[in-house]
A and B are shown apart, each in its own frame.
Chain A
Amino acid sequence: MSNFKRIGAVLLFFVAIGVIAVSFKGSNVLDRAIILGIGVDAADDGGVVMTAEVVSPGNGTEQVGTFSKIVTVKGETINVAIQNVAEVTGKEASLGQCVVLVLGQEYCEKVNFGDLTEYFINHHSFKESAVVCCCEGSARELFNKGNALAQSMSLAIATALLDEAEKIAVANNSLLEFARSQNELHCTGFLNRVRFVPSQNTDSSSPDKEMGFISYREICVFRANKYVATLSEQAVKGMSLFSPDVYGETFVSFQDTVTRTVQVTEKSVKLEPDGKGGFKAEIEATVRYGRTDSEEVSGPITAKNDKEIPREVLDDVAEQMRYVAEKFLAEQVKYDFDLLKFHEAYRQKQGTTAALADKPMSDFPVELSVKVKED
């Protein structure tokens, strides 16, 4: 090969590399508005109002922590609203890091939001494992309470509902689970309802600053993406008893002028068809005295130096558990929703039929047994 040919080949190689490199259009992280959480409310004109918690890389200096801002945009659909984020931030919205989707009260109670869940579930960046919940009042108001929490609202909600089931002791749902629940078999599912609870400001340096915390103790039920009911507090407690992954529920027992608080530390839940068209439910909970401000110490070689919980207290707690569990089962029948997947259990035995999907909850009697033992 002559020198000219060699030089030509090298030049051609670099030109080709250049053309290929220029043709790949990635998007620079500095040009993106990274959305951590989305709130959706109903707009007066029938569209949606979207509130997003956004972090924009490159906008801060050497700050430590998550510094986000809240932007609110309108759109005829959620897709248009997301596009409109660019108008407010000057950057393209990116949903890959979004961890929570919050539906405002009016929006989720009055609108069939099937299109919205369908949009997010089919979105290629949005994680189906993200938390979806509804809130008291508007999602816009909730997201603007981030300063009162002194942390990112999106991360606070997602962390509590995703990773800290034992602290909030309430069952929770991901977008994927919720979307499936609204379209499969009996078409009923639930969303946690979060609520901002104001608290007294004790900070004398900024007396006007709003303070508060988020309450997670409510659950709303939906059928085919339409609101059905909000569960009573006792029913929520009963529902969490049926969820094996959720623990930390507390019960108070009054015996002989002594008040004792016990906490569920472990749980085994058996829920299976009884062969007669109903279900047999067995809950076996392990409890210990409730503690505060102490590191939990447990395991097979832990010293047994706690006082034993009297048998009467354990029986009383078992009775309370039975009461809340029955309360929940009664609300399942009353509003005809299936959060314990009774229909699914029968589908696994019989296959999918329209008759099974339409079967009311009253057709599934439950024989309940609750046992409580000490940790």
Chain B
Amino acid sequence: MDKNRVSVDQLALLYLLIVMGGKFLTLPSLLAGDVGHDSWLAVTFGFVWDGICLCFLLWAIKLNNASRLDISSILDKSLSKPVSKLLLAIFFVIFVLRTNILLSSCYKMFSVTFDVSTNWIVYVLPVAALAFFATVKGFNAVARTGQLLFALILIAVVALFISPLREAEFGALLPVGEAGWGKILLTSYTRSFWFSDYIFIYFVLDGIKIKKRVFAPMLISFGVGALLSILLNAVFVSLFGYLAPQFDMAMSKIGVFSAASTTNGRWDWLTLSIWLVSVFIKVVIFIFCAYKCIEKFVGKRFVKFNWIAASVVLLTLSLPMFVSTDALLDTVVKWGVIPFTLVQYVLPLLMPLLTKVAQRKTEVSGE
């Protein structure tokens, strides 16, 4: 049995988990700094583009059901090998950067919110070990873990939201579009690095089991994830106003309001810890994808666990020891938005066409 096989329902749950796992850390404060109380609009636009691209990607998944081609086969056959390798290199950079930024944010949260500190290497090693263990076990193991923890994480997120929702004055979001629609649209593009969480699906394309529905479960997950993210941004900026850009740990600050109505303790720490599991699931998936990028880049299937590929991924996780997260965001991420657009937004739109072309070429060559 293929250990990377995953059902559409499992994929949908994982997708929802990783949407919730990354949007509630540094992104809300960055958006608040860019467009103030209109940040929820920038998030909404981000999700609109994501929704359109996801539909095309799902269409491609449906088309690919018969042939079960993997991403490198599709790209090699439809766009040529050099272009395929270029796109895989871009994918690798995105996965590595997003993993580093997520890990840095969690590192900071452990240090300042939970008052647990350590050095970067000792922090990253267990996470990487977990990710490589998942790689060995296959994507199905990650999907099963997501299924097991899904309800718990969702309850934690809802629990974190209830008190702040009551406290927030949504009138603070008025007037709508005060920052200027052009600026809001531009911000949703310049901050697109934090969106398009569906990119991990490219690397499990050949393992997706389709029984009945493809669109419904995925789009429901997408809708719920998008709604929660937009709501969090709206609550965050309406609660913190001019202070929002200063608070780079949105969920940590939002969580404080779970304890607001009582003087009996900090149960937000418990719910926050459970929610953090979704961030680590996201990190594990991105490390898995980075590893797969190397596998597909060298064009050789790793039958056994490849230590060299794992070492390369591990080496890239030491990046925050040399460059601060802010510097990464101001340089690589800022200028990388344009090449990243290729795989985040252009490729999904072309995927149905590329899949068709690849399938036809496969049939012609008789593979």
Q: Are A23 and B118 in contact (CB under 8 A)?
A: yes
Q: Are A155 and B126 in contact (CB under 8 A)?
A: no
Q: Are A350 and B263 in contact (CB under 8 A)?
A: no
Is B337's beta carbon under 8 Å from chain A?
A: no
> Which of chain B's residues has its CB closest to A129's CB?
B260
- Name the one of B113, B116, B174, B265 contacting A349, with C-beta atoms under 8 angstroms: B174
Q: Which of A119-178 contact B (CB under 8 A)?
A: 121-122, 124-125, 127-129, 155, 158-159, 162-163, 174, 176
Q: Are A124 and B242 in contact (CB under 8 A)?
A: no
Is B186's beta carbon under 8 Å from chain A?
A: no
B116 neighbours in A (Cβ, 8 Å): 24-26
With contacts defined as CB atoms under 8 Å apart, how many contacts are there between chain A and chain B in the complex? 79
Q: Are A162 and B253 in contact (CB under 8 A)?
A: no
Q: Are A176 and B112 in contact (CB under 8 A)?
A: no
Q: Are B115 and A26 in contact (CB under 8 A)?
A: yes
Given A26-B116, A128-B253, A350-B175, does the pair A163, B239 have CB atoms closer than 8 Å? Answer: no
Is A201's beta carbon under 8 Å from chain B?
A: no
Given A19-B122, A163-B261, does the pair A348, B171 have CB atoms closer than 8 Å? Answer: yes
What is the CA–CA distance of A128 and B244 in the complex, to the nearest angstrom?
12
Q: Are B119 and A27 in contact (CB under 8 A)?
A: no
Residues 162-177 of chain B: 1 if any A CB is under 8 Å from the residue's CB, otherwise 0?
0000010001101100
A129 neighbours in B (Cβ, 8 Å): 167, 256-257, 259-260
> Which of chain A's residues has its CB closest to B178's CB?
A351
A27 neighbours in B (Cβ, 8 Å): 115
Is A96's beta carbon under 8 Å from chain B?
A: yes
> Which of chain B's residues has its CB closest to A126's CB?
B256
Q: Are A23 and B122 in contact (CB under 8 A)?
A: yes
Given A25-B118, A27-B115, A348-B174, does the pair A180, B266 have CB atoms closer than 8 Å? Answer: no
Give min CB distance, A310 to chain B, whole Å: 38
- Name the one of A19, A96, A125, A158 contacting B263, with C-beta atoms under 8 angstroms: A158
Q: Are A159 and B122 in contact (CB under 8 A)?
A: no
Q: Which of A256-307 contact B (CB under 8 A)?
A: none
B241 neighbours in A (Cβ, 8 Å): 180, 184
State the B residues within 8 Å of A (CB): 112-119, 122, 125-126, 167, 171-172, 174-175, 178, 239-243, 246, 249, 252-253, 256-257, 259-263, 265-266
A24 neighbours in B (Cβ, 8 Å): 116-118, 122
B167 neighbours in A (Cβ, 8 Å): 129
B117 neighbours in A (Cβ, 8 Å): 24-25
Q: Which of A7-46 contact B (CB under 8 A)?
A: 16, 19-20, 23-27
Q: Which of A325-375 contact B (CB under 8 A)?
A: 344, 347-352
Give min CB distance, B158 to chain A, whole Å: 19
B242 neighbours in A (Cβ, 8 Å): 180, 183-184
Q: Are B260 and A127 in contact (CB under 8 A)?
A: yes
Q: Are B119 and A23 in contact (CB under 8 A)?
A: yes
What is the CA–CA distance of A94 and B266 in the complex, to the nearest angstrom?
13
- Name the one of A25, A122, A183, A348 contacting B175, with C-beta atoms under 8 angstroms: A348
What is the CA–CA distance of A25 and B111 in the complex, to the nearest angstrom?
9
What is the CA–CA distance of A315 and B240 in the complex, to the nearest angstrom?
41
Q: Are B252 and A124 in contact (CB under 8 A)?
A: yes
Q: Could you list 29 A-B pairs, sorted by A, with CB under 8 Å?
A: A19-B122, A20-B122, A25-B117, A26-B114, A94-B115, A97-B265, A97-B266, A99-B263, A124-B113, A127-B256, A129-B167, A129-B256, A129-B259, A158-B263, A162-B263, A163-B261, A174-B260, A176-B239, A179-B243, A180-B240, A180-B242, A184-B242, A344-B171, A348-B171, A348-B175, A349-B174, A349-B175, A350-B175, A351-B178
> Which of chain B's residues has its CB closest to A154's CB?
B263
Give min CB distance, A317 to chain B, whole Å: 30
Give min CB distance, B290 to chain A, whole Å: 22
Known: A183-B242, A348-B174. 11 other contacts (CB 8 A): A24-B122, A25-B117, A97-B265, A124-B112, A128-B253, A179-B243, A180-B240, A180-B242, A344-B172, A348-B175, A352-B178
Q: Are B266 and A96 in contact (CB under 8 A)?
A: yes
What is the CA–CA distance of A351 and B117 in the complex, to the nearest angstrom?
43
B113, B114, B116, B243, most chain A CB atoms within 10 A: B243
